[in-house]
Structure 1
Amino acid sequence: MWTASAVLPGAGPADWRELRRDGEAAEFHAATEMLELHGAETEAYLHGLTAEIPSLYVIMRETAGECPLEIVQITASPYEAQDYTDSGEEIVEKVPMPHGLVAWVRDFVEEFHQDEIFVKRKRDKKRIDIVEDGVGDPRIDKAADIYASPSLKRRRLQ
């Protein structure tokens, strides 16, 4: 069974390098991925930071190659992680965010986050209580045939 247990901020390149082994259990440094933050995602980052345990999400995909899993992405957005779980093709593991990264993400959110003002939509004045029963497709000539499928108008050859 494979699982992501932690992230190593500032780690060098790695490709499934074994870090330690205890009997049959082994810990690997699978890959070094860049954590990118986007200004449009600050609401999601803020949501993740206010959780009981701020976390990062490691998105992995099973491979048929030499390595058992491919590290697709690491994200601080719980919304983006949710999107990956919807397909069922990727494995999403939640790991605690190191304190240094918590501070870095918080600084990013403080600099770029803008609250969106809620604007209530106004209804139009169209009356929806008026019902026109029996009115069918306007392409049908006879009122008696309101449930008939429309047909193409045929040209008369002269």
Structure 2
Amino acid sequence: MGVVYPESQSARLGVVLRRSPGVTAWSKWVWRATSVLPGAGDASWKVLRDEGGVTEYHASTHDIHLYVSDTEAYAHELQAQSPSVYVILREGEDDARMDVLTVTVSPYEAQDYSDSGEEQVERVAMPPAVLEWVTAFVDQHHREEPFVKRRRNKHRTDRKQAGIGDARISQATDVYRAPTANLQEGAE
């Protein structure tokens, strides 16, 4: 078990991956996360099913953490038509496997991994036991923050003189002049 933070909870989820033959010459295998197993024990690529070249593995088991600071993301996921668990995959050292980096219920965290393009983000239906656990956590800890419109700074910036540069350096001209200052000098 990893580091335990105050105001957080964690649970164990097993990850089931399906390996099927690729359909192109560039991809020998296609990997998909198909389900998660709440409360699963440790596993290391245990074969669950093997039919017609398609193999399902209990690839690994990970701790999934819920943090009070992320309840907005969890609440957002719970409002989805079908709440999901996100499995983050990365190509392994050998091309025969995918490594499971982490498992999360935060769509914001999943988006961060998706943006890099280095990881494969898979959505898996959230099992009822996990759905109840996340819902109870959000009900207990989530507080809606009221929207506060930002006020505009009324400081006037148009009164500053362009092209002054560093006041500590005494010189006849300033090498850091603004381009508008050059135009005004040429017009004179």
Report TM bin, short chain: 0.7 to 0.9
2:164 is the counterpart of 1:135? yes
Structure 1 residues not aligned, in runs of 5+: 150-158
Q: Is 1:84–1:92's contact at 8 Å kept on the other side of the alignment?
A: yes
Which of 19, 33, 43 is residue 48 of structure 2 equivalent to? 19
2:182 is the counterpart of 1:146? no
Is the partner of 1:132 in helix, strand or coil? coil
Q: In the TM superposition, what is the alpha-carbon distance from 1:82 to its structure 2 partner?
A: 1.1
Corresponding residue of 1:71: 100
Q: Is 1:58–1:95's contact at 8 Å kept on the other side of the alignment?
A: yes
Structure with more strand by fraction: 2
1:62-141 equivalence runs, <5 A: 62-65=91-94, 68-141=97-170
Instruction: Specify whether residues 93 and 148 from structure 1 end up closer, same or farther in structure 2 by C-alpha distance, changes over 3 A only.
Output: closer
Instruction: Specify whether residues 133 and 72 from structure 1 end up closer, same or farther in structure 2 by C-alpha distance, changes over 3 A only.
Output: closer
2:33 is the counterpart of 1:32? no
Rounded to whole Å, the distance in 2 between the matches of 1:112 and 1:71 is: 29
Q: In the TM superposition, what is the alpha-carbon distance from 1:65 to its structure 2 partner?
A: 4.7
> What is the percentage of aligned positions where both structures have the same residue?
48
Corresponding residue of 2:82: 53
Rounded to whole Å, the distance in 2 between the matches of 1:114 and 1:25 is: 45
Corresponding residue of 2:7: none
Structure 2 residues not aligned, in runs of 5+: 1-29, 178-188
Q: In the TM superposition, what is the alpha-carbon distance from 1:98 to its structure 2 partner?
A: 1.1
RMSD between superposed Cα atoms in Å: 2.1
Q: Would you identify which runs of 4 or more consecutive aligned residues in structure 1 move more than 6 Å?
A: none
Is the partner of 2:57 in helix, strand or coil? strand
Rounded to whole Å, the distance in 2 between the matches of 1:17 and 1:67 is: 15
Partner AA of 1:113 in structure 2: H
Aligned residues: 148
Computing the radius of gyration over CA atoms, which structure comes out larger, 1 or 2? 1
Q: Give the TM-score normalised by the residue count of structure 1.
A: 0.83
